[in-house]
Amino acid sequence: MTLRMHMAVLMPDLGNLMAQARARGAAVPDMPAGDAPMMELNTEMKEVSTGPVPDAAVQIPASYQKVPMEDLVKGLMPAAPKQ
């Protein structure tokens, strides 16, 4: 059981690549430079219970739709523009 967690994602090479692309005139998002984290996440457990879990907490939502994994990945990763 995790009580407290801190996660930092560092991608210094990605920041350098974005800076190089920007220098060539590309419209790319700003990225943290050097050793600055690109993203940080902190979580902390507030309470623990040994009581029963309500059935509603583990019910599949009525709006759920089964989707093949291939379609899900395609939706998350748009196709690269044709050149």
* 1-25 pLDDT, tens digit each: 889 999 998 887 887 888 888 889 8
Phi and psi torsions of 3, nearest 5°: -90, -40
* HEC letters along 6-68: EEEECCHHHHHHHHHHHHCCCCCCCCCCCCCCCEEEEEECCCCCCCCCCHHHHCCCCCCCCCC
The pTM of the full predicted model, rounded to 2 decimals, is: 0.45
> Under 8 Å CB-to-CB from 32, ≥6 apart: which residues?
15, 38
Q: Is the pLDDT of residue 30 over 80?
A: no
* 32-79 pLDDT, tens digit each: 767 788 889 999 999 998 999 999 888 998 899 898 988 888 877 766
